[in-house]
Amino acid sequence: MTRAGPLTPPPPRRGPGGGTPGASLARRILLPGPPPVGEGVIQSRARARVVVLVLLAWLVSHSAWAQDATRTPAALFAEASRKFDEGAATIAADRARGVALLDESVALFERVLRDAGLENGRVYYNIANARMLQGDTGRAVLNYRRAQRLMPADQAIAGALEGARRRVQGRVEPQGNERAGQLLLAWHYAFSPGVRFAGLALCSALFWGLALARLARAVPRGAWWGAGVAALVGGVLLGSLIASERAFQRSAEAVIVAPSVVGRKGPDESGYQPAFTDALHAGLEVTIVEARPGWRLVRLADGREAWLPEDALEAVATLARAG
């Protein structure tokens, strides 16, 4: 029986890099490399970055909006007044910057009106002053008219409106009959609806007080005359208030805000001839007679009529109520 010789271990196998499998495994355990990245992983990371950026942008914008939304009308008014003062002081030396500051002031004043949902004569007066400084006669007259409608007895507004009217090119004066009617109803335009309503309440209280006192024989018979006068004045004031409300609902009064516009004989720019020889200019006050899509038939102060594009004029009355 032959004895087996000594066992010789087989030569080690070489790995792909020339080393032994054990050494390669050790290197993989001790020095792990980055795992292979597939295309799906790269796309997922890219989408995640986009989502994060979108969320950050939304948070920044929402925070700014929330901070702006909490500003009170009083704070907005104060900022608008500050920009107005700065623009008025700047416009002579640097017209472009002054006009820009006044535009910002007007935007803030208009936001005060929009956020409050009411009308305020002082705010309209400030807007008109800003437009006057910018040389925008049309919108100056428009906002002076809005201010005067709310504060008819204010002499500063009346003076400023008259000054703006003098700058209107081609101003149209009312006819004799219409001027006489305006003078006859001067009291109607001189007192605000609030003052007229207070007068109506006073006349009503006076009438019923005198009537009841006379029925109780607490006052002489002549008290009926006083009650009759109170009833008459109260009826006139009531009619004035009804007329003002109807005029507000119709929103018939308007002001041309376009620098110049051609009045036509019909509601089409190419199909109708001009109604007048000269164009109508910004600041001219008109009355809307009829409305069609994109066009308005207006009557001038002297009774002449013409069709104007809708965007060439703005109504004096707005959707908000006086407050």
pLDDT of residue 216: 78
The answer on 116 and 197 residing in a single domain is: no
Q: How confident is the model at residue 223 (pLDDT cuts 50, 70, 90)?
A: confident
Residue 157 inside a domain? The answer is yes
- 26: in domain: no
Residues 80 and 144 in one domain: yes
Q: Answer yes or no: is 173 within a domain.
A: no
Give the domain CATH number at 318: 2.30.30.40
pLDDT value of position 91: 96
Looking at the 3D structure of the chain, how many domains does it have? 3
Cα dihedral 190, 193, 199, 201, rounded to 10, equals 180
Least confident of 156-165, 178-187, 270-279: 178-187
144 plus 90 within the same structural domain? yes
Question: Do the domain assignments include residue 160?
Answer: yes
> Same structural domain for residues 91 and 149?
yes
Across 70-84, 93-107, 143-157, 204-218, which has the greatest mean pLDDT? 93-107
Structure-block tokens of residue 83 = 């920009």
Q: Which of 167, 200, 217 is the last residue of a domain?
A: 167
User: Is residue 16 one of the residues assigned to a domain?
Assistant: no
Residue indicated by tokens 């990371």: 45
- CA dist 211 and 86 (Å) reads 60
- Report the percentage of the chain scoring pLDDT > 90: 45
What's the average model confidence in pLDDT over 270-293?
94
Can you give the pLDDT at residue 25? Answer: 45
Q: Residue 207 has which token pair?
A: 């009438």
Q: What is the pLDDT of residue 161?
A: 95
Copy the structure tokens of residue 94. 């640097």
Q: What angle do CA 170, 172, 175 make, to 5 degrees?
A: 160
Domain hosting residue 129, numbered range? 73-167
User: Quick one: pLDDT at residue 3?
Assistant: 46
Q: What is the pLDDT of residues 227-245, one digit of tens each?
A: 788 888 888 878 877 776 6
For residue 229, tell me if it sits in a domain.
Answer: yes
Q: What is the pLDDT of residues 295-318, one digit of tens each?
A: 999 999 999 999 999 999 999 987
**pLDDT of amino acid 191:** 67
Residue in the structure block whose two tokens are 């907005």: 76
Q: What is the pLDDT of residue 46?
A: 60
The model's confidence at residue 65, banded by pLDDT at 50, 70 and 90, is very low
- Has residue 239 been placed in a domain? yes
* Residue 185 scores a pLDDT above 70: no
Average pLDDT, the chain: 79
Taking the whole predicted model, whether its pTM rises above 0.75 is answered as: no
